[in-house]
C-alpha cells in the first residue's frame, strides 16, 4: 500500500502560511517560537477493513487530539519541543490495537517543506474499551538559524500519512 504525502503537504503549506506569524509555542527565554499546527484534512485518519474505503468499512478512527510546544535557543538556532497526543476509537472489540502513521514537517516562510520525518504511534485497546488516548509523543525539531528572531516565520506541521482512499474520505467528511 502506498502512502501519499504530497497532497497532505500541499494542504500543510496552506495552513502554515496562514499561521506562520502566530506564536503558539512559548519559552522562558522569550523567543518567538515557530507555530506547531495540524495539517488540514490530515489530523484525522480512518483505518479501513481490508478492501474497504467508506464509512461502513472503518475499523478504527484516529485523531491528533492535542498538540503543545515550546522552543529554546540552541547553539545554531532554535529547537522546538512538541508533544502530540492521539486518540483512537475502534468499531469492534476484535481490533486489539492500531498503529497510526504520522509525519512532522518543518515549513519555511516561503511555504517550502524543509524537512519531513515519519513516525508511528501504537495504541493497544484494553479488553472492553472502544476508546484509547496515547501518552504524549515527544518530538524535537531543530531549526538552524543565524537570526533567531526569524523563528516565528517558520512552522512545524503534523498530520497523518494518508492513503488516497483516506484522503478522499477526509475530504468528503470536511468539504471546503
pTM of the model: 0.81
Q: What is the pLDDT of residues 31-59, one digit of tens each?
A: 689 999 999 889 999 999 998 888 999 99
Who wins on pLDDT, 8 or 96? 96
Residue at grid coordinates 492500531: 98
Domain ranges of the chain: 6-173
Q: How far is residue 105 from each of residues 49, 88, 111, 127, measured CA to CA in Å? A: 29, 22, 11, 35
Give pairs for 14-18: CB < 8 Å, separation 24+: 14/40, 14/111, 15/39, 15/40, 15/155, 15/157, 16/107, 16/111, 16/155, 16/157, 17/111
Q: What is the predicted pLDDT for the residue at 132?
A: 95
Q: What is the predicted pLDDT for the residue at 53?
A: 86
Query: What is d(CA 29, CA 162) in angstroms, rounded to the nearest whole number?
Result: 37
Q: What percent of the chain has pLDDT over 90?
A: 68
* Among 110, 115, 106, CA closest to 17: 110
Instruction: Write a three-state SS string for 64-86.
Output: EEEEEEEEEEECCEEEEEEEEEE
Amino acid at each position: 500500500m502506498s502512502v501519499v504525502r504530497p497532497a497532505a503537504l500541499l494542504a500543510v503549506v496552506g495552513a502554515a502560511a496562514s499561521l506562520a506569524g502566530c506564536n503558539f509555542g512559548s519559552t522562558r527565554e522569550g523567543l518567538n517560537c515557530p507555530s506547531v499546527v495540524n495539517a488540514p484534512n490530515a489530523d484525522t485518519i480512518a483505518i479501513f477493513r481490508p478492501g474497504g474505503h467508506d464509512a461502513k468499512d472503518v475499523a478504527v478512527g484516529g485523531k491528533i487530539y492535542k498538540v503543545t510546544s515550546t522552543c529554546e535557543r540552541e547553539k545554531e538556532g532554535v529547537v522546538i519541543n512538541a508533544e502530540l497526543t492521539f486518540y483512537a476509537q475502534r468499531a469492534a472489540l476484535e481490533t486489539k490495537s492500531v498503529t497510526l502513521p504520522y509525519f512532522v514537517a518543518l515549513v519555511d516562510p516561503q511555504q517550502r517543506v524543509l524537512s519531513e520525518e515519519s513516525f508511528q504511534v501504537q495504541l493497544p485497546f484494553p479488553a472492553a474499551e472502544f476508546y484509547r488516548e496515547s501518552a504524549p509523543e515527544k518530538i524535537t525539531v531543530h531549526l538552524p538559524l543565524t537570526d533567531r528572531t526569524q523563528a516565528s516565520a517558520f512552522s512545524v506541521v503534523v498530520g497523518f500519512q494518508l492513503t488516497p482512499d483516506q484522503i478522499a474520505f477526509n475530504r468528503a467528511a470536511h468539504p471546503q
